[in-house]
């Protein structure tokens, strides 16, 4: 039984945007989230936990990217989240330095 054509993405670029947002965007958000946690909390414990929770978060973000209607919109959301987490990394490293 073939797939219903109304649910298939007709052109290359929207499909490409969803696939790259799922793989790369989800990875960037997952890594920056965990590094932001590591800059504010105990670094060794967060980085060890990241081996498991990072993969789970990445898979959830992949699924969300494929559920979104627009690949470009989900790319924008993932870039915005990565920038927010990068700002938190910067602030965490600035205020939590040990001299």
Is a pLDDT exceeding 70 seen at residue 1? Answer: no
* Cα 32 versus chain centre, distance: 8
Is a pLDDT exceeding 70 seen at residue 4? Answer: yes
- Predicted TM-score (pTM) of the model is 0.83
Q: How many structural domains comprise the chain? A: 1
Q: Could you give the CA distance from residue 36 to residue 86 in angstroms, rounded to a whole number?
A: 7
Cβ atoms within 10 Å of 65's Cβ, excluding its own: 23
**Structural domain containing residue 19:** 13-94
In the chain, where does DSSP find H-type helix?
12-20, 26-40, 43-67, 71-95
Q: Give the pLDDT confidence score for residue 10 in this predicted structure.
A: 67
Residue range 20-75, pLDDT digits in tens:
999 999 999 999 999 999 998 888 888 888 889 999 999 999 999 999 888 899 99
Cβ atoms within 10 Å of 19's Cβ, excluding its own: 14
């Amino acid at each position: 039984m073939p797939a219903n054509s109304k649910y298939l993405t007709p052109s290359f670029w929207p499909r490409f945007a969803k696939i790259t947002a799922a793989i790369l965007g989800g990875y960037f958000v997952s890594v920056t989230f965990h590094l932001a946690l590591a800059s504010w909390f105990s670094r060794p414990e967060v980085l060890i936990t990241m081996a498991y929770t990072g993969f789970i978060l990445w898979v959830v973000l992949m699924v969300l990217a494929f559920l979104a209607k627009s690949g470009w919109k989900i790319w924008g959301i993932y870039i915005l989240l990565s920038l927010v987490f990068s700002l938190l990394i910067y602030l965490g490293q600035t205020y939590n330095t040990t001299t």
